[in-house]
Structure 1
Amino acid sequence: MATQEERLIALEQTTAEYRPVLQNIAYELTMVKGLTIDQVGATQGLRQDMNNVKERLTNIEEKLDTILTLLKPS
């Protein structure tokens, strides 16, 4: 069985070998987080725009119904 010092040396070597990979993963995760936050903001903006369009269409429908009612012969 390896001594505690040998295990520590092996751990340090493994950490040194994988440090660039881990740094790259951390960088990419940071980028994904930023993109996700931006996308959430864009989605919220689109949702608000769609709600505005729905409101306007409802108003137009109500006005058209009123116009059609007034144009119907009695």
Structure 2
Amino acid sequence: MSRSKRKTPFFGFTTATSEKLMKRKWNKRFRRVAKALMLVDKEIPVKKQAVSDIWEGGKDGKFYWKAHTKKDMRK
């Protein structure tokens, strides 16, 4: 994919490359809470945000950058 490029100039706030480890942690916590709630016959949370905080991750969201160049748009 030598010619692939970003379609829109959205970038992460920090230099973290991935949130893979945090996503694993959040999913593990979600499954653990869901399993515990099933055992006591309570309602299971529908979203991961019910048991985790997205602001704990390495990237604190994304932003739109108007002054981007062709070099910034490469993947």
TM-score by length of 2: 0.34
Q: Give the greater-gyration-radius structure (CA).
A: 1
More strand per residue: 2
TM-score by length of 1: 0.35
